[in-house]
Amino acid sequence: MLFDSHTHFNNEDLTSLERQALFYSVDSAVKEGRMAGAVDIGFDLPSSEMAAEHAGTWPWCYAAVGCHPHDAKTMDEEKLERIRQLAAEEKVVAIGEIGLDFHYDLSDRDTQREWFRRQIRLANELMMPITIHAREADQEVMDILKEEGAFSEERKKHFGHAGVLLHCFSGSAELGKQYVKMGAYISVAGPVTYKNNRKTVAMVAAVPIERLLVETDAPYLTPVPFRGKRNTPLFVEYTARKVAEIKEMSFEETAAITRENAMRFYGISE
Ligand code: NI
């Protein structure tokens, strides 16, 4: 049974019909015992509202609420307050996705930094896990996480780990190991299946399976052999198969361990 630790049923390019079809396909997989669940991840206020609504509708669906660095420019105090309210809902399990993206720079860097920090503080206040997006900003993301107390003893005592998840991690094996040592979890997405992605393969080999999660980031980052088609939470299977191959473990065992890791990270009980 697989758990997709990061997906976007809330993606604005999906028509409501397409979204419904997606929900029913995952629901069938859950009923057939192939999937255990998925977390719909917010990237701005409207998508966070949607994620919380989806989690309220489908028993196997959970939500994260927060503002992505791309959308940091849309944030203000009122929206942060609304995110705080949404975070209190029963099946909202994390603040995210938050972080820095210096590849696209869709919001200016100081705005990204400001709202990244504010949302880590919110997660600390509410004592909630955080889901991190980092692109071409590895060092600064780590510095800010440390400065804002994301790896505090208080958080570690509360969660039994730091409650920090590096989503679609593209950093080195060395950085992955460093994060794990600090109490973080690492999530692997479709790109690990891409030919020539030796960096992520080496990272997966270096990090203990007890700290790895699998995700789709659907509708993006479709794994091989479906690369080029629209991604769906069901394709998390192909990422898990690749992780199993790298770790020289069975697919079933890899699915079970990454599922348990995801549920432990998000504080979801069976
Ligand atoms: Ni995402």
Per-residue pLDDT tens digits for 66-100: 999 999 999 999 999 999 999 999 999 999 999 99
CA of 29 to the centre of ligand 1 (A): 22
Ion ligand 1: residue ranges with CB closer than 5 A: 217
CA of 219 to the centre of ligand 1 (A): 9
pTM of the model: 0.97
Alpha carbon distance 115, 100 (integer Å): 9
CA of 205 to the centre of ligand 1 (A): 23
At residue 270, does pLDDT exceed 80?
no
- Domains of the chain in start order, with CATH, are 2-266 (3.20.20.140)
- Residue 52 CB partners (closer than 8 Å, separation 6+): 42, 63, 65, 86, 89, 91, 92
Alpha carbon distance 230, 64 (integer Å): 22
CA of 155 to the centre of ligand 1 (A): 24
- DSSP state letters, 75-99: --HHHHHHHHHHHTSTTEEEEEEEE
For the segment 181-203, the average pLDDT, to the nearest whole number, is 97
CA of 215 to the centre of ligand 1 (A): 9
Alpha carbon distance 215, 221 (integer Å): 10
CA of 6 to the centre of ligand 1 (A): 6
| Cα radius of gyration rounded to whole Å, the chain | 17
